[in-house]
Every structure is written in structure tokens, then in C-alpha cells.
Structure 1
């Protein structure tokens, strides 16, 4: 089976690593890829992800059997629709279904209409209306910008003034509508599921770390590390989340004539009254994908193809009993201004450790040397019989990497392991 993988980050490197292990894979391509992905797939250069017609033509010329879309932007922009119109199978939702991530307001209204547990909310088109609502509700309170924000469009405001300022920032940045939510008490966890219409199959859990620095301090990021499975998401809580949140969502989307096909990533808040939806993503998380793939023991090509083709009921995902952890090695200054182009060494030595895989996120080759090319640059990933074992291996691997311009959190996994040191 000829596969085209779209994307260039650590998520896509993890997908490429697992897809390449399938005995059914034929020609394997990646667009645009990165140096890590290039170890497994032929990299296609010169075509931007936004060039949908060009991608479709390229797929036709290369007899592609399945396109795996990694990032969210092409999904929300309708790439899967364009591929489908040309008779090309793709793993990922249509633009109408991808609104679950593309519009937080769409998702909140869907939850409200279908009694799906989530935070109470209000939606506003002016600062004055939003500020009045905030003052009536009090703090802490959550302010969200609508649309794709790369995991950074959320402010958990501890004071009314901070919340009003966040609203002003949304409108000053060109936003036309803002979402104000109640602050939910509890612990967050991520639950993944494959969906092919109304069939929903659980596909692993994880917890990530959004803040830049140890102790969950500093600015929000796209994620500084993750581990899987998430012990806090017990089998009973996972069952409830599937039955009370994901299945009703899939049914509502199908009933509306916009059936969801692909991976559905539910960010959950585990409250005293049960799991509640924080938000949906319409693709594998990053860096959560980097801890799911090492634990997945099945044929990823088979499972993704079955999902895209509406045959999800025919497959049963297989999982290894190991735990996995990934630690993000980021450019100093991230998520703010940071330099790129600094040389990185020691990946071979790090990857030689048992159970360790280093996924590349923001890298490129320059004169035969691997250099940084983004904010989040490496995902140092390890598996172990326990989470503590995986953590020990991941940080031992980091110690072998030579990259003075990078930084990382030293406390990934502290919630599950009960320590922040």
C-alpha cells in the first residue's frame, strides 16, 4: 500500500516510525517531512501543505492508496474533501467534521444541544459584553479565542482583570468572537479514539505538560512533555468518557450529515462529578502521539486504512503493557522569540539506550549537520515496564544529547509519579 504522510513535526516523525513497521507498506512518502522522517520515507519537497490541488495531482501521479494527514490546518481547510473528490482515501476528517477543533464555539454548541458534559459558557462579540459577563461570574474563569491557535489560545484567568485583559487581546488580535467558560476543578487527561462515523474505538490515553517550566510555571506552550497511559484516567472514567462524550459526539455529527472519520482527541477534565470535555482536537496530539506510537503494538497502516474506509469495526487495536514518556527539548526562549540554526549532536548515543527513540520536531540539515529549526526541536521518548523506568531512560538519553541552545523540563511525569524533582 502506497502511503503519503503530511506534516513535518515530532508527531509526524512518530507516525512515520510506526507506519514504516507495517508489513503492508509499499512506497512511503512524506511531505514536507524532516530529517528524522527521511530515515523512513522519501521526502517530497517544494509543495506547501496549502497547495491542495497540487497535492491531489501528486497523489494521482504516484498511485497513493492512503494519505495520512498529521497537522490540523489542512484538515480544517478541507484537504480531505479535495482528496475524496478525486477518489483518494485519506485518514482525517472533512472540513465540516474538523470544525470540532476549528471552532471552539461550534463544539460548545454541539455539547449543549446533545447534553454532553462540559463547562458552562457564554459567547460574546464585544469586549463590553464579555467583561460584564466576567464580572458577574467572578474568577477564576477561562477565556478562549475561537479558531485554530496551536494549543495556545486559552487563558485561565485568576482575576477578573486578567480575564478582561485576555478578552481585549483576542479582539485586538483580529478575533470576532470570544468564548468565556467556567473554571473546572480537577485533573486534565487526554483520551484518543478512532472514529469512522458512529463507530468509536478507544485508542490510548496520555497526560501532557503545557507550561514551559518546572512546577507548571511559565507561559503556555504546545506541550513540553507527555506520558502514556494516564493513570488518573481509570478504566471506569475512560468508559464514561467514551459513552457520555465521544459516542454522543460521533452520533450528533453523523446525524447532521457531517460524519467524523479519523482520530478524535478529547481533552478531558476529571471532575468530582465525572469526566467533562475541555476541547476536541481532530488529529493526534503533539507530543502525545510520541508516547502513543511506542505503546501501539498493531499494524498502524491497517488500523488507519480501516478507519478511513469505514471498516473500523473489523479491527481491534493492540497495545503493549509498557509505559512511555517523552520530554520536549526546546530552543531557549520558546514559546517566545528564539534562535534557530544551532548544531545538535549526540542523537545516536541517546537513541542507543534501551527503549529510547528520539523523534525530531523542529530540525533541518545544514551542510551535513543537524541543526535546530523551530521552538520544539526534539522529543526524547522512552518506554519502560513502569512510568518511573521510562522517565529514568528518557532523562538518561537527554544527558547524552549535545545541544547547549536547548532547554527542557526536568519534572515530566510528576503528577503520576508524585514528585516534581
Structure 2
């Protein structure tokens, strides 16, 4: 019996890859560290996505669901992360063609060629992959696969507060007062932020969502205050606020306009040209410095400075990654945020996603490395192309089947990863996180 194709991650893109393999009758196993499909999405489940439903459903997944009687929500409605899971990902994962092949609460701790480290070469392609899995109790097991698709995303590996790409001095020691991502300020995390002094770091839509929630919280908790720090200088602030009415994703354009108005009205204290160097816990609160300036003490810090791929469990594979973006080398120039917005990244597939390790692919947000230009539709096209190639259908793999919505928001350099996305857009899929999708 042939070995299955292993898919890491039961998020939107991982399940899309599984749906395409299911349609082709190919054997697959999905490994998910969470307790259910879309577990990472639920971490920002309170956030509304920028993209309407018509951009949120993969074609193969939609066909499988439709055959089971599923109806897509209104095409022009904007789901929250929780609604995306409840109304799309959970029903998809529960289909008979999918459910038996998904393993939950299984974390991938290593991927390698069976019996070979990365230095051994001539017969690598003839050997299966071995995935070392660990359950919630720490028990380990091996999964053998003929190919591996890593769609594990980046939400669980956020960038630090420190401007140098490493934690600021003292950042680790005050981690109990730092939230990475988009907290549920008006929901489960309300008590943490009500009537507190809050510092928000980051110039993307994750920061925007957090700031809007904090300002709304002030209506019932009037002592709540917000300091917002960004790396950009005052002269380039327009790039932060985005395309406004020119944005094809209207919800995203409105978000930037709202933030601009709050800053102009003095409801949010904006500090530009900021590069965090140090955080100290004092009797008056957390004191943050950039080496030259020191901010007033705060009680809480929310870090929305983007995400990065976790490559630690892939060390024994032969990867070809761009040294700056950490995306596959052929993909990196196509997604460079200095040149492209979410809507101007050209469609791409198996050829741009190749690595020296045969039959291994990064897809979805993880394939973009640290670039913030990811769209959910792009991830679905990657899944379609890669799965077609792994099934030997190279004509389909190299055929372009994607038209992206144009956007006026993300053009030009981005100060922080995630600047054009909402959690993870799916999120518009960071929201977060990076959410342009």
C-alpha cells in the first residue's frame, strides 16, 4: 500500500490541500497540533476578516461541501475568525472524505528522510519522509509519508517587541504583561485592559483592530489609555493608514481611515520612528525605551509586529530559502513587500515553491516567510498546484487558476510584518495576524 501524503496543519490552506487530494482519490494524513480544525484561527476568532465569504472558500473544498448539502454563507458577508471555523472549516473537516484522515492534538517536532540527516544525499528521494509526532502527554510516534506539505502557518511564532528581530532587553522577563497578536479586548480579555495604560506596537491591521477595541473599551472604562508606537517616521504615515476608499477590500480601507481619525482627535497617542530596545518593570509600571527616548509607564503591552515561520522542526531537510524574506528563493522576489501588495503578487505554484528536498513544500502563510502580502486565495492556488504535481498532473499544476482582487493598501514598503493583513484575512489568515486574506 503506498504511503500517504502528510499535510501539517488543519487550517484553511492545509484543509484545502486535503480537499484537492480527496477529490483525486489520493491517500493523505493531516496532522494538527490543536484540538480541532482551525485551532489557530480561533485564537483570533473575535476578529472580523477583511475578505468576504466569496474569497474564503477553496474550490475543491466548496465542491466537497456542496455535494454534502452545504450552502456557503452570503458571498458578500464578512466572517469573523470564529465564523470561518464554525461555518466552513469544521463542516469541511467533518466530511467522510476528510475526517478519518485528520489527527488532532499531534504536534510535529521533526521532519526528516527516514534514516538520513540532511548531509546524506544520493538516495534521498527513494526514501520516505519520517515525521516525529508528539501528543499532549509528550508521547512520541513516527508517521511515514511519500511527500510532505507544510501548511502550519505562522500565527504561533510572532515577531518580538524588540526592533532588532530579537526580544528587547527585559522583554522575556515581563512576558506576563505582553500579548502577541490581537487580544479579545471587548471579550474574554476585557478585565486585563479595562482602565489600564496600554502600549500597542506595530503598524499593521492587527494593531488597528486592537486600537479600535481599546478606544471602544474606554466608553465604559474611561481610564483606559493607548500609546501606539510605529517604526515609520512622520513623513511616511500615509503608508500606514493605507488606501482608504481606493482599497478594493473596503472593510480594510475603512479601518485605516478610522485609525487616522482617532490619532487626529488625540484619542490615541502616536509615537513615530520608534525602535524598542528595552523594557523594564518598575513600581509605576512597564517602562519602554528606544535607547534615546523613554515612554510613560504602561500596564500592558500588545505586540502586533508580524509573524515569522517556525523552521526548527525542518532542520534535517534541504530547504532553499531567501536569506531576507525566508520564503522559497523563487517565490521571494514575487512577494517582496517593497514591490508588491496583496493584490499584485502574481499567481504562483509548484515551480516557485520547490526546494532541493524533493516532494517537500511550504504553502500558505508559512511559504511567505516574513512577507506580509499573503492572501488566502493565494494559499488555495498553491494547494491546488502542489497537490496536482504530487499526483502527477503537471499540466494542472502549471496552469494558472487564480485572479486576485486588486488593492490599494499594501503598495510600497511595509514597516512591520503584517502591515497589510488582518489576522491573519484570512483574515483578512493573521489577522493577524496577518489578515489580508
Q: TM-score, normalised by structure 2?
A: 0.30
**Greater percentage in strand:** 1
Q: TM-score, normalised by structure 1?
A: 0.30
Relative contact order, CA 8 A, sep 6+: which one is greater? 2
